[in-house]
Structure 1
Amino acid sequence: MKKISLLTLGAALIAVPVLAAPGAGSRGDADGNGTLTRAEAQAHATQRFVKMDANKDGKIDATDRAAQRAAMQAKMFERLDADKDGSISKAEWDQHSADRAAKRGEKRADAGEGKGGMRGHHGMRGGRHGMRGGMMMGKADTNGDKAISQAEFETAALARFDASDANKDGQVTAEERAAQREARKAKAAEWRAKRAAAPAAPASE
């Protein structure tokens, strides 16, 4: 029976986000009241940094990200290896794929969306996630040493919080988060429209 090794499985797994996005959604809302304060955002950033600093050297760099990816791959492999024989059979992989498809179907049914639209959105979101993570990494690394210190991490988190805090009252409400999401959607739509309207490059002779 065909097996899938731990090494080859890595290519099929979701990459670890490079940098958390404090202030987006309700993550960090310690008291669960739906509103994120600046203090909560900073505390959440501190917790995230400690978790992401795998080797506890006070910075997040390529070594930490590689360790996080390896940990996620091992966790995923353990979950897929139903019979715990150290490898994943085709039957186990097919079952995993079937389970994922069933969950996507349930989400589409709950959202009342068509199959094509949901799949397209998922793919686009996944593509943006990696690019956005890379951009966040670059912005947080203010001294250009290809590593993020705790101070840099928290500064970047608070900058994102401040950008979400539209009325500058020191807290981000659900309404402000919704407004920010709509603004991003509008900007993305504008970018797509400009790209579609751009003249095609002349064919080289």
Structure 2
Amino acid sequence: MRKLTLTLSAAALALGAASIAYAAHHGGKHDGADANGDGIVTLAETKAHSAAMFARMDANGDGVINAEDRAAHHAERFAELDANSDGEVSQEEMQAAREARKERMQERGADRHAAMFARADADGNGTLSEAEMRAAHEARQSMRHGRMGEHGGERGGKGDHDGKMMRGHGRGGGMAMLRQADTDGDKSVTRAEFDAAVEARFKQADSDGSGTITAEERAAAHTAMKERMQQRRDGK
């Protein structure tokens, strides 16, 4: 079957995942790649997380992410909105979908808070001592300073916007990943190409070759990526 050309938005959908697969935090939020929540991402965690993401994106299960999958995902999202299956989405159905999405976000927020508490509770006794709270606060401060460095500015400023672009949330990040993963240039991404791109990104971030990526290495990788994107924008 002829592979169809990925559109720009499809590229962001398909390959933004590869960019975030090695990043354990998005603006400080816990990400599924860090399976045990220790703040360090291993290659095994990255591979497991990216495999699950590829399976979700490969809607028709043919082992290739392309425009057919994008169309299937659009149809699936429309069906979810169209609660009464009449082929149209009413304002009430849109509102219901927004409320459901809000509830899911609140649930995820609660899960993140529970995970943060568990990490801070060093002795596992279900309560936090003053020393544990101080240690958790210092760890958060360290992470925050690292994110400010990788964003190149204060939160909410231009640096934060660039940081989101680098993590694959922007179209530039998706296209950069597309160019790296699509090694045969056919504008589609196979599982082998996807896995190779994820592993290459991981090794690129794992500066000491330890097989794990720390918060410091994530900050350095984001800074380097930002510089490369700026050079491309400047035509260098």
Scaled by the length of structure 1, the TM-score of the pair is 0.59
- Residue 118 in structure 1 maps to residue 177 in structure 2: no
| Alignment check: 8 A CA contact 1:16 1:69 kept | no
Q: Evaluate the alpha carbon distance shift between residue 72 and residue 178 of structure 1 in structure 2; reply closer, same or farther with a 3 A threshold.
A: farther
Instruction: Report deviation, 1:189.
Output: 6.3
Partners of 2:23 and 2:218 within 8 A in 1: yes
Runs ≥4 in structure 1, deviation > 3 angstroms? Answer: 69-75, 117-128, 182-192
Determine whether 1:18 maps to 2:14. Answer: yes
Could you give the per-residue CA deviations for residues 150-193 of structure 1, whole angstroms, max 9, x where no partner exists? 1111111001101110111111011111222233445566777x
1:61 aligns with 2:66: yes
Structure 1 segment 166-205 matched on structure 2, within 5 A:
166-185=207-226
1:6-42 alpha-carbon deviations (Å, 9 max, x no partner) = xxxxxxxxx9623112102344112211111111111
Give SS of 2:71's match: helix
Structure 1 residues 177 and 148: alpha-carbon distance in aligned structure 2, compared to 1, 3 A threshold:
same
- Tell me the distance in 2 between the aligned counterparts of 1:172 and 1:71: 35
- The farther-off stretch of 117-126 and 128-137 is 117-126
Is the partner of 1:168 in helix, strand or coil?
coil
Q: Note the residue ranges of structure 2 that are not aligned, 5 or more in a row.
A: 1-10, 26-30, 103-143, 145-154
Change (3 A) 1:191 1:146: closer
1:17–1:133 Cα contact (<8 Å) kept:
yes
CA RMSD of aligned residues (A): 4.0
Larger radius of gyration: 1
- Alignment equivalent of 1:153, drawn from 187, 191, 194: 194
What is the CA deviation profile of residues 122-155 of structure 1, one whole-angstrom value per residue up to 9, with x for unaligned ones?
A: 7764697112212212321112232211111111
* Percent identity of paired positions between Structure 1 and Structure 2: 37
- Residues in 2 aligned to 1:150 and 1:190: alpha-carbon distance in whole angstroms: 30
Q: CA deviation at 1:68?
A: 2.2
2:57 counterpart of 1:88: no
TM-score (norm 2): 0.52
Q: CA deviation at 1:69?
A: 3.5
User: What stretches of structure 1 of length at least 5 have no aligned partner?
Assistant: 1-14, 80-84, 100-110, 112-116, 196-205
Q: Output the amino acid matched with 1:118.
A: G
**1:72/1:130 CA distance change after superposition, 3 Å:** farther
